[in-house]
Structure 1
Amino acid sequence: MSHKLLGLPYDEWIDAFLPMDDSEVDYMQYNRLFDGVVVDGQESEMYEPLVNALNGTNILGNFVLAETYARYDKSDKDKKKADGGMYPKGSSAIEQKRTDWATVEVFIECKTNDSGDPYDENTLSGIPYAETRRDALGQITTYASTVFEYQHLTHHFGVVVLGSQARLGRWDHSGIVFSYKFDYKEEPAKLARFFWRVAHATPEARGHDPTATRILPGSADYKTLEAWKAKELEDDDYVARRFIKSLTEHRPWWRLTVADSKHGKKDFLVGQPTFAASGVVGRCTRGYIALSVSGGHGDSPFVYLKDCWRVVHERSELEGDILSYLNGKGVANIPTALYHGDVEDHRTISQDFCKCAKAGSLRCRMKAHRHYRLVVKEVGLPLQEFPCGRILVWAILFLICLAAHQDAYEKAKVMHRDISVGNILILPPNAENKQSTYRGLLADWELSKPLDHYMSDARHPDRTGTWQFMSVHIQDRPAAQVEIADELESFLHVMIYCAIRYLPHTCADVGEFMYQFFDDGIRRGEAEYKCGALKRLVIKSGELTTLTDEPITFLRRPRAPDPKPRSPLERPLMVPKKDVHPINSVIMTPLLQCITARYRLLYPQRSNDEDSEFEEPLATCNGFDDNEPSHGNEDRLRAQNELMSQSKKIKTHNYMIRLLSTASDANAHLWPGPEDRLPDQLDPTFHPNKPKKMREQRAAPAAKPGPQPASKRSRSTTPTADPGEQPASKRPRGSASRG
């Protein structure tokens, strides 16, 4: 959450975010309202007195405070429980004392003292230094992220109680503005005023989106969706089956309106999102398989609807306009834009209170965001659902890299700049699309950039892309321009991500590898990060290994477990050649080696420190010392020429065309069938966004690599994102800024 938090005095905060006339309310009557709240005992002793104190007044209007610390939301796989919250009367959360993310209006978190204070107005970033306080920030960030995932909101309020003190917080997709601490026992009117104002505010002032209407039982829309659930479907109608699966009884259903400047307003019915980016700050994309109730876009009633918060910048373009341009240029294997437009006048306002930004300082990095929706024709499957390793390579590299990405670069002069697992989809063959084989789709072009803009200032001041899949070069140098070689490296990281999770291999600890390779980062400064140690090691060495230097080999089929435990010091078991998966040759030779050659040219090592990290890139470097003996120079020159030859191969798409054509066509007989596809090997109990204490100094703010619902760290605050747009894994995205 770097530089996305700021504090305001209580009076400024309350008047900025809840500017209501409450002059007729006599707050003096509440002078001793919270005397019964226990502040010197256990945390659990605080809940009931605090809730009863407010419920016993006429402050809350049509709302009630509920204790919800004991029971989690039934639909929440992560089993998170807020201590309490303000709910509308009639909510099941009140009677059941159960957290209900779909109806909570204000969440409440209690701590016995300020050692659990998640905010700090005295640091440059707003983030406290103490580990326990950072943990508290992560906890409430998780709550806020979940509320945004379950509801359609422009912003959300939260209260943190710290013994006898309290803070108020307002979350939007630009950042978090929190109030300075106040003693609610000494000044009970301050907490009472907040709850009176929020309870009597309009739904829009509480953050509700008027273009998202909840579908309730008995309504016409509800009956329409129930009729779809009762239909008999063809076996290969994966779109309709996915749509019906999204209509779970534990998550709200919605009618969403998309306002298109050319086609007018179009309405769509949706259930649970197929993808929801974690976190609050940033684009926070959600994707839905949607049933059109407006018609006029083709034979199928189903489309894919993307709901996000785009960055407002003078040179930012709407993704729908970008797609329409690419569609017009004949770029293959990308979505077909149907409708798109900003939602009402929904804008973030947190950035408006960043005083250092107004003073010209770089300390505040809050960005203005606008609510935006895009509807596309194609409904793809998550890349992670590839049926076998050959289709994985086909979808990632052959179709995507050589068609969509190359077409966009050569025909439209556009660089994608956000290659991630969530932005690559697969379209299975079925009767409706009349395909005979799988087809790949490269989605999410919002952060793409015309090549003729490369000579001008960067469009976005922060890192652009999804942290887990960025090249080492871009992770280390956020201001660098993304090149083809960086994009090809990102494709490689996507392939490793899927292969480690779903193909047989020799890696003993998938969770640890996923965290270290994709999420980890090395802190530099107060809240900035550069590439983590494992990804750097792999790119530097040209070999896929663990951080303890154990080589990873992909297998054609699962290997029988070793009957005798081995010491970590023992040499790893050799893999017979017949058991080695052909994907190894795609990753290790020559793609990874070409990428490694590029880095050895960009970042020459110090001669006296072979294990040093990459140095600053050199514009020109001959790679050897002119004072060395001539025969040494000759050897170094040959090595340099070999590096240059290897590196040159990934400056364009041509080499990849030949490589993948051979791998997928000429050598198709070498690939195993569906037997190489395994269930997800990432243990669902492993949470890379909750690292051990020893990792705290290096923990990157990146999203969790795992199936959604993702862990709830923001994907857009320092290095992120969000992986993806259409159905994807959901992420951790601690937070790489995708814009």
Structure 2
Amino acid sequence: MDYSEIFPHSSGHRVTKPAERAMASDLHKKVVGPMAVETFLDKFFPKDADNLTPHLSPVTSVGIVENATTSKPIKRRSPIAQTSPRSFASRLSLHSSISHMSPRSSATSSSASLRRSTKPQGRHQFDDVSAAPTEALMYEPFIQTCKRIAPGLEFVNSSGSGDPECQLSGDALKPDVVVYAPHSGRTRDSDFSRLEMHIEFKYNSFGDPFQDPVFVDAVGFANRRLQSFEKVGCEMAADTCGQIAAYASAQMYRQFRTHCFSVLVVGNRARLIRWDHAGAVATIAFNYVLEPHLLVNFFQRYAQASDAVRGKDRTVRDATPEERRAAEEHLGPSDRYFAIEVAVPFTDPETKETIPVRTLVVAAPRYSTHSLLGRSTRGMVAFDMMSKWKVFLKDTWRIDSPDFAPEGETYKILQAAKVKNIAKFIGACDVSDTESGEHATLTQVYARMPWACKTQDMVRYRHYRLMLETIGEPIWTFKSSYQLISAVWDTIEGHSGAYEAGILHCDVSVGNILIGPDGRGLLIDWDLATSVAELNMPGRRRERTGTWQFSSAAMLMNSGTHHHVLADDLESFVHVAAWLALRYCPHGLAPESLSMLLYEYFDRCTQPGKHDIGGYGKEAAIMRRAFAREPDFKQSPLLNELFPALFSTFVVRYKLPPFSLTLMIPDPTMETPEEYKSWREALLPRLESHEWILEMGKEVLSYTDAWPLDDRAEEQPFVSSKPKAQKRESDRESAYHPVKRSRYH
């Protein structure tokens, strides 16, 4: 089943704005720039023997570049000494690159010829590219030039051939030009499971999503922290940003990578970009016609770089024939299988020998529309070559912060406390390898550099893998409405046990509830969980966490100030049950009405400042004890009674004191201060424990004769309301299935 088709957004809407804009909004203020080109090359492609691919040699094509293998240092020309005319951007590029260099790198530059820009004998190799009358005619001249300067790479015009495995809003992704390693095994021009990088072309400057700083001081970056690197107010620029983000996202999801690179060509200028899960780093725009050595140097260094420098995960390899046969037998057919090394020890029950690293075989992950940024969780059923069992592998990038314990540590606490209705935990580890060391993001480091323009606050993400023994099915595959409610209340019971063990989940959502092999609900994804003791510590407060569509109204209405408590998770369970009932249980709402209800209740948000604000649809439903557009669950009439009863308990969180209480003036039309105080004191304690909601679930499930047994999940028809475009950070993927969701961290 392709969940990206039936579940493209958490609320079930079709794309509510152009897909490229949605991807661009995820990158809002998370592209760091402008980095000088030579700094970019030296930082990300250090030229030393350990990082060179042994079978590739530097390019020595006569008439294209100077001999790159010569031991004679290449002298840098001063920008003042230039005799040929140079644009302001070109001068700034060279000026900034000098400013970014450390004293150490400056001292050693004269003795490392391969670390310097390879300069051309002539400035004409890319003339045909910039002189092309249309964008489409730029591709082939560029490819032919690159083939000569970097024969160790394969450049392919992929503009007419999309990858059917990677789609955005139903359209196959097809970059203008893609780059492959020799003998890549690609099966088509656009193959995101094997490409090395994409190159996007735009004919004029309107297509450049970035803008270089205007004001420059003596060292090259005055007032940059006050300037935006993003081009604002240009639709073409936003579309380009979304395009390149979608391509990087597809590449990272279809492959096993820590980061990737791309090139953006706009007219006669180009930018180099490095992507990871924290954001992206982009260079200043440089004139590749006047300074072709910058592109030449980039492609040559990339061709000679090791897999780790290129961003490939060295703990993953193609499966051997024996491993492929085992995977096909237990996992089913796939076009490609990978073998993953996971540092979770396995003890052979017969020999008692302990093997420190397991080998798991997985099928090539399928791409679903989601953001590159954040945790980018992938859940895969894997075959363990050690134990010969099928297991579940969660591959994610965890927030590397003292406020967020690794998920494996949380599972150990839960299993020690014998918490019910959670998946059985095998082991977990941070990912590292001998060449790259620990796998962690770098973009957040460069966001703090003095040359970087204004960005959002960024966090460090670290690669993490977790193994579970239990393999479940998505909650929206329930076989009856009775099983739906029963599974949700199973997870509330598990949540209660975890709370007693001192753990609060903090991310209750549709994607984090599964139906286990025994038909019971399982609560998964504990990576945002926190200690109850820490939440109660004075002055201790984390940033807002959770999935937007299922976060409590209190969390969304009081962005950045609300203290996450148990009542927020309990309210999230209600929103999860409401979403599932509205989307998959038959009712009387017309498609247009359902679409608007989903939008108002689950998706609507505003942007008053740093944080998005929302939750008003949820608050309104709670206050009126009913949905804004009342569905009639004819096949499951108990649902018509369940939701008003649930809403009624949460009214106490949002009902303001009577006006007379505020002014201490009696008002006969409102309840008295004493009545209000008595009512509030009676209801608030209910939200401080699970007892009331567990009792309510037990009661409603006890009426077995009133529940139909054959009303299995059936997607209810709806139409997109296409509301005004709005921003939410979307980087949350379910551990067990591709579900696009949103969260804040």
Task: Compute the TM-score of the two structures, normalised by the length of structure 1.
Answer: 0.78
**1:261 and 1:286 mapped to 2: Cα distance?**
22
Letter in 2 for 1:103: R
Residue 100 of structure 2 corresponds to residue 10 of structure 1:
no
CA offset at residue 290 of structure 1?
Answer: 1.0
Find the counterpart in structure 2 of residue 248 from structure 1. Answer: 334
Find the counterpart in structure 2 of residue 368 from structure 1. Answer: 460
1:576-725 map, 5 Å: 581-587=637-643, 589-601=644-656, 623-629=661-667, 631-632=668-669, 634=671, 637-638=674-675, 641-642=678-679, 645-665=682-702, 667-675=703-711, 677-679=713-715, 681=717, 695-696=724-725, 699-703=726-730, 715=731, 721-722=732-733, 724-725=734-735
Residue 113 of structure 2 corresponds to residue 84 of structure 1:
no
**1:460 and 1:52 mapped to 2: Cα distance?**
56
CA offset at residue 632 of structure 1?
Answer: 3.9
Residue 542 of structure 2 corresponds to residue 480 of structure 1:
no
**2:132 and 2:696 mapped to 1: Cα distance?**
68
CA offset at residue 142 of structure 1?
Answer: 1.5
Other structure's SS at 1:663 match = helix
CA contact (8 A) 1:4 1:125 kept: no
CA offset at residue 107 of structure 1?
Answer: 1.0
**Rg comparison, structure with higher value:** 2
Other structure's SS at 1:496 match = helix
Find the counterpart in structure 2 of residue 566 from structure 1. Answer: none
Other structure's SS at 1:154 match = coil
Q: Give the alignment partner of residue 418 of structure 1, picking from 507, 517, 520.
A: 507
Residue 392 of structure 2 corresponds to residue 304 of structure 1:
yes
Distance 1:267 1:131, change over 3 A: same
Distance 1:536 1:658, change over 3 A: closer
Q: Give a deviation string over 1:699-718, Cα, whole Å, max 9, x none.
A: 13244xxxxxxxxxxx1xxx
CA offset at residue 374 of structure 1?
Answer: 0.6
Other structure's SS at 2:294 match = helix
Q: Give a deviation string over 1:673-704, Cα, whole Å, max 9, x none.
A: 22353146467xx6xxxx95x613xx13244x
CA offset at residue 322 of structure 1?
Answer: 1.3
Find the counterpart in structure 2 of residue 576 from structure 1. Answer: none
Distance 1:73 1:384, change over 3 A: same
- The count of corresponding residues between Structure 1 and Structure 2 is 621
CA offset at residue 153 of structure 1?
Answer: 0.1
1:217-296 map, 5 Å: 219-228=321-330, 243-244=331-332, 247-249=333-335, 252-260=336-344, 264-273=356-365, 278-295=370-387
Other structure's SS at 2:357 match = strand
Distance 1:644 1:461, change over 3 A: closer
Distance 1:68 1:408, change over 3 A: same
CA contact (8 A) 1:417 1:482 kept: yes
**2:616 and 2:206 mapped to 1: Cα distance?**
32
CA contact (8 A) 2:228 2:454 kept: no
Letter in 2 for 1:48: E
Residue 232 of structure 2 corresponds to residue 129 of structure 1:
yes
Find the counterpart in structure 2 of residue 434 from structure 1. Answer: none
Other structure's SS at 2:40 match = helix
Find the counterpart in structure 2 of residue 185 from structure 1. Answer: 289
Which deviates more from structure 2 when the two are superposed, residues 456-465 or residues 440-449?
456-465
Distance 1:385 1:154, change over 3 A: same
**1:212 and 1:134 mapped to 2: Cα distance?**
34
**2:407 and 2:389 mapped to 1: Cα distance?**
22
CA contact (8 A) 2:591 2:717 kept: no
Distance 1:364 1:75, change over 3 A: closer
CA contact (8 A) 1:468 1:702 kept: no
CA contact (8 A) 2:270 2:287 kept: yes
Q: Give the alignment partner of residue 154 of structure 2, picking from 64, 84, 87.
A: 64
Q: Give a deviation string over 1:148-184, Cα, whole Å, max 9, x none.
A: 1100000011111111111111111122111111111
CA contact (8 A) 2:328 2:334 kept: no
**2:616 and 2:520 mapped to 1: Cα distance?**
35
**1:644 and 1:127 mapped to 2: Cα distance?**
51
CA offset at residue 457 of structure 1?
Answer: 7.7
CA contact (8 A) 2:254 2:365 kept: no
Structure 1 residues without counterparts, runs of 5 or longer: 229-242, 430-437, 557-579, 608-621, 704-714, 716-720
Letter in 2 for 1:160: L
Find the counterpart in structure 1 of residue 575 from structure 2. Answer: 493
Other structure's SS at 1:700 match = coil
**1:725 and 1:376 mapped to 2: Cα distance?**
11
Find the counterpart in structure 1 of residue 83 from structure 2. Answer: none
Q: Give the alignment partner of residue 164 of structure 1, picking from 252, 261, 268.
A: 268
Letter in 2 for 1:726: Y
CA contact (8 A) 1:342 1:372 kept: yes
Q: Give a deviation string over 1:24-59, Cα, whole Å, max 9, x none.
A: 37531462121111567433222222222212x141
**1:440 and 1:653 mapped to 2: Cα distance?**
17
**2:647 and 2:666 mapped to 1: Cα distance?**
30
Q: Give the alignment partner of residue 409 of structure 1, picking from 499, 519, 536.
A: 499
CA offset at residue 128 of structure 1?
Answer: 3.2
**1:406 and 1:282 mapped to 2: Cα distance?**
28
Distance 1:188 1:358, change over 3 A: closer
CA contact (8 A) 2:512 2:523 kept: yes
Letter in 2 for 1:523: Q
Find the counterpart in structure 1 of residue 441 from structure 2. Answer: 348
**2:121 and 2:463 mapped to 1: Cα distance?**
41
CA contact (8 A) 2:405 2:530 kept: no
1:532-543 map, 5 Å: 534-543=617-626
Of all paired residues, the percent bearing the same amino acid is 28
Distance 1:30 1:69, change over 3 A: farther
**2:204 and 2:268 mapped to 1: Cα distance?**
8
**2:293 and 2:641 mapped to 1: Cα distance?**
69
Q: Give the alignment partner of residue 119 of structure 1, picking from 202, 210, 214.
A: 210
